[in-house]
Structures are given as structure tokens and as C-alpha cells.
């Protein structure tokens, strides 16, 4: 099946500030295997009688769940198991200081996927993504104008949005699991699923850092997680008292996975218009590698406000990034020239200049409108 082949390839579309992988297993008082485990492999019982795949006392717990609670390994198990199935996933995160919640719906079948995101910013509007098995497209509306984009997933091979971790929200689940001290699992439905609850904080910094939630320090938690016997988290509900920038916040989040194995995706009615109107952007790197050019070769304009970002690719020794926004539309037939000089990103639609930084393979370029990409590639692929 095409989607499973792509997911198994492990080639992620690297997006600036967004590429995150599940790290080492960490948790509060839950079960915590001493070394990495493959969710598809069996393991032998350890000294206390509970194996790292959760089997203890005749109960077949999923990997990451044990008699004492849960570890972040469950998030990895969830990503592995769910990425093999068709499903519908709804996720919501609300910060009491914001008017709107961050909301995402993922609908995934064996060949295609739709993802609808409301970033939750002031006056933000949902962004719709559609992947047809070969290419990706998006649509968003701003002040009555509808904008379209084409997601160039080659040569990386698979859009970041439908990699197992982001598409299953495993990274968010990992953070939630680290945040709380979850008690022993309660068996439900004759062992088909398990409920775990937490009313105390295990890691007050779990929702800050690479999870992308924000700079939060947790003070209290009330959370419930339900996982199936094969390790898919069917639901999570959590409320967190937190502080950020010296202000008290109430954070609330919900995740629900439904229609597992029964979900189908129908091409949205806007997809054909996106194919016709999305801009075609071609990138080339200058011979001296000190500037690059993005040529608009057809389709609707890229509106003013679209951002250009140059970022160090993951794994680079140096962490550094530059960003700026267009103050004019980029229309068909025009080119956007980009370089770095005097510690700033520079751009022009009239001339190309040679910057003072070499743009080698350690750099990533992202050209986006509200984080919906026109271009997102490592420089070596231009």
C-alpha cells in the first residue's frame, strides 16, 4: 500500500523549526524501559516480573504500559501501530490567554490524506491540506482571498505532515505522558483497552521546548489517557495549570482517534482548483553558493506577507536562522533572489547579490504562507 511504503521509508520533509523526533524514553513514575525497544518485537520478563512490552501477571499491556503506569515508549508504540492503519484523528490545544484553540483533524487512508489545521492565532483561518498519494496541495483564506499551494515532496519522498510522529500526534502524547505521574492502568472492555489517570506533575517543563506548545511551567495537572491493548492511544484529555511569561495560564487539550481501519478519504472539491492555480516555484543555487533564486513560473501570485526562512538543517553543528516577510506580491514571471549579508537575510525581486555566507548543504530554505509551504528543501536539493 502506497502510504505505508512511504511511511516506512523514513524520509521526512524537513521543515524549519518543526522537525521533531521522539527522543529517549522519559516519564514520571510510570514504567520506563532501560533501553530502546521495537514495538513489534517481544521481550523477556525483567526482574520484577513485568516485561518491557507490558506483560505482567497475565495482563497483556501494550509496550510502554506497565503495572505501575506508563512511559513515553507508549507514544512510539502509538505512532508505529496507528501509522499501519486508516484512521481519523482530532486534536485540540487551548491556552486561556488566546481567543481561539489550536485544532487539527487528520483523515488518513492507505493512499490519501486530508489535514485541516486552525493554528489558533488571532484571526487565523483553517488551512486545508490534501495528499493524493503522489503530491500535496493546500488552500487557505485570508480577508476574502483564497490562496493555493503545491507541496513539492521530492526528493525527500514523503511530506513531513504525514510522517508517523506528526500525523499520529505521538510527539504531543510524549510530552503529555512526561508531564504527569500516571497511576496503574485500569482494564476496560475485557482487556481491550486501559485507562490511566494523573493528578500530579512529574515534569514541570514537559510542555516547553521542542514540543512546540510554548514556554510553559506546569503547576498542576488532571489528565486521563485511554490506550488499546495494541498500543494505540484512543483518547487523551488533560487540563494543566501553568505559568508563562510570569502569567497564570489554563491549558486544556484533547485527542481522539476514531474509525480505525474504517476511514476513507475523498478528494476535496477544491483540489482541482489548487492544481490549476497553485504557484510553480523553481529554486536554483548560484555557482558560488552565496545566493539562491526562486523563480515564479506560473499560477497565482504569492501574496505579500509570505515568509522566507533560512535555517540550519537538523544535525548541523551550528544553530542559526534568518527570516523575513515579503512586502510585495511575487507574480508569475518574477524571481525572488535571496542571500545573507551582515547577519541578516536579504532579498530582492530585481537583482541577485552575492552574500557573505555560503549556503551549503547544512542550510534549509522555507518559503511559506502561515506555515503552509511553497518550498521547503535543504539547499543541496536545489
Evaluated on CA atoms 55, 61, 65, 68, the torsion sign reads negative
pLDDT of residue 21 exceeding 70: no
**Does an H or E element contain 272, and which?**
helix 271-277
Question: pLDDT tens digits for 362-381?
Answer: 888 999 998 899 988 888 77
For the chain, helix (H) and strand (E) counts, in that order, are 5, 24
What confidence score (pLDDT) does residue 362 get? 85
C-alpha span between 262 and 60 (Å, rounded): 25
Residue 252: helix, strand or coil by DSSP?
Answer: strand
pLDDT of residue 42 exceeding 50: no
pLDDT of residue 336 exceeding 90: yes
From the list 293, 288, 308, 307, the residue with the least C-alpha distance to 357 is: 288
From the list 141, 124, 146, 127, the residue with the least C-alpha distance to 273 is: 146
Question: pLDDT tens digits for 233-247?
Answer: 999 999 999 999 899
What confidence score (pLDDT) does residue 80 get? 94
What confidence score (pLDDT) does residue 153 get? 61
Least confident of 21-25, 124-128, 155-159: 21-25
Burial class of residue 257 (count of CB atoms within 10 Å of its CB; 0-12, 13-18, 19+): buried
Residue 271: helix, strand or coil by DSSP?
Answer: helix
C-alpha span between 286 and 86 (Å, rounded): 44
What confidence score (pLDDT) does residue 214 get? 85
C-alpha span between 66 and 334 (Å, rounded): 59
% the chain with pLDDT above 90: 60
Burial class of residue 286 (count of CB atoms within 10 Å of its CB; 0-12, 13-18, 19+): middle
Question: pLDDT tens digits for 262-301?
Answer: 999 999 999 999 999 999 999 999 999 999 999 999 999 9
Question: pLDDT tens digits for 154-181?
Answer: 555 556 667 777 899 999 999 999 999 9
State the average pLDDT for the chain: 82
C-alpha span between 120 and 112 (Å, rounded): 25
Question: pLDDT tens digits for 78-121?
Answer: 999 999 999 999 999 999 998 888 999 999 999 899 999 987 76
Instruction: List domains and CATH numbers for the chain.
Output: 2-135+162-258 (no CATH), 279-381 (2.60.40)
Evaluated on CA atoms 109, 171, 209, 320, the torsion sign reads negative
From the list 353, 83, 28, the residue with the least C-alpha distance to 196 is: 28
Burial class of residue 27 (count of CB atoms within 10 Å of its CB; 0-12, 13-18, 19+): buried
C-alpha span between 188 and 289 (Å, rounded): 60
pLDDT-derived band at 44 (thresholds 50, 70, 90) equals very low
Residue 107, Cβ neighbours under 10 Å: how many? 20
What confidence score (pLDDT) does residue 63 get? 94
DSSP 190: G
What confidence score (pLDDT) does residue 3 get? 44
> Which residues are CB-contacts of 174 (< 8 A; sequence separation ≥ 6)?
22, 23, 72, 75, 76, 211
Residue 70: helix, strand or coil by DSSP?
Answer: strand
Residue 238, Cβ neighbours under 10 Å: how many? 20
Amino acid at each position: 500500500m502506497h502510504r505505508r511504503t512511504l511511511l516506512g521509508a523514513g524520509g521526512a520533509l524537513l521543515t524549519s523549526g518543526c522537525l521533531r523526533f521522539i527522543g529517549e524514553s522519559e516519564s514520571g513514575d510510570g514504567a520506563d524501559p532501560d533501553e530502546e525497544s521495537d514495538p513489534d518485537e517481544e521481550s523477556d520478563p525483567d526482574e520484577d516480573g513485568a516485561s518491557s512490552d507490558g506483560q505482567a501477571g497475565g495482563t497483556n499491556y501494550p509496550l510502554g504500559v506497565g503495572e505501575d503506569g506508563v512511559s513515553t515508549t507508549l507514544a512510539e508504540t502509538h505512532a508505529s501501530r496507528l501509522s499501519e492503519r486508516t484512521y481519523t484523528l482530532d486534536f485540540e490545544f487551548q491556552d486561556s490567554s488566546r481567543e481561539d484553540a489550536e485544532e487539527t483533524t487528520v483523515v488518513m487512508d492507505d493512499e490519501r490524506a486530508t489535514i485541516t489545521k486552525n493554528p489558533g492565532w488571532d484571526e487565523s483561518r483553517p488551512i486545508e491540506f490534501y495528499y493524493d498519494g503522489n503530491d500535496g496541495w493546500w488552500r487557505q483564506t485570508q480577508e476574502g482571498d483564497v490562496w493555493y499551494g503545491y507541496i513539492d515532496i521530492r526528493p525527500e519522498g514523503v511530506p513531513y505532515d504525514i510522517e508517523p510522529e506528526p500525523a499520529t500526534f505521538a510527539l504531543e502524547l510524549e510530552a503529555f505522558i512526561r508531564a504527569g505521574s500516571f497511576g496503574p492502568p485500569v482494564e476496560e472492555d475485557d482487556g481491550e483497552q486501559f485507562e490511566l489517570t494523573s493528578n500530579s506533575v512529574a515534569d514541570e517543563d514537559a510542555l516547553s521546548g521542542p514540543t512546540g506548545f510554548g514556554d510553559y511551567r506546569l503547576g498542576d495537572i488532571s489528565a486521563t489517557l485511554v490506550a488499546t491493548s495494541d498500543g494505540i492511544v484512543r483518547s487523551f484529555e488533560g487540563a494543566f495549570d501553568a505559568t508563562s511569561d510570569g502569567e497564570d495560564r489554563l491549558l486544556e487539550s484533547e485527542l481522539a482517534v476514531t474509525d480505525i481501519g474504517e476511514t476513507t478519504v475523498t478528494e476535496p472539491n477544491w483540489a482541482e482548483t489548487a492544481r490549476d492555480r497553485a504557484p510553480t516555484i523553481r529554486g536554483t543555487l548560484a555557482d558560488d553558493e552565496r545566493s539562491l533564486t526562486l523563480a515564479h513560473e506560473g499560477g497565482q501570485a504569492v501574496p505579500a506577507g509570505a515568509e522566507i526562512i533560512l535555517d540550519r538543517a537538523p544535525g548541523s553543528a551550528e544553530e542559526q536562522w534568518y527570516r523575513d516577510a515579503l512586502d510585495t506580491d511575487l507574480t508569475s514571471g518574477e524571481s525572488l533572489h535571496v542571500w545573507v549579508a551582515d547577519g541578516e537575510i536579504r532579498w530582492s525581486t530585481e537583482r541577485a547579490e552575492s552574500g557573505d555566507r555560503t549556503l551549503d548543504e547544512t542550510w534549509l530554505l522555507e518559503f511559506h504562507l502561515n506555515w503552509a509551504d511553497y518550498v521547503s528543501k535543504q539547499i543541496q536539493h536545489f
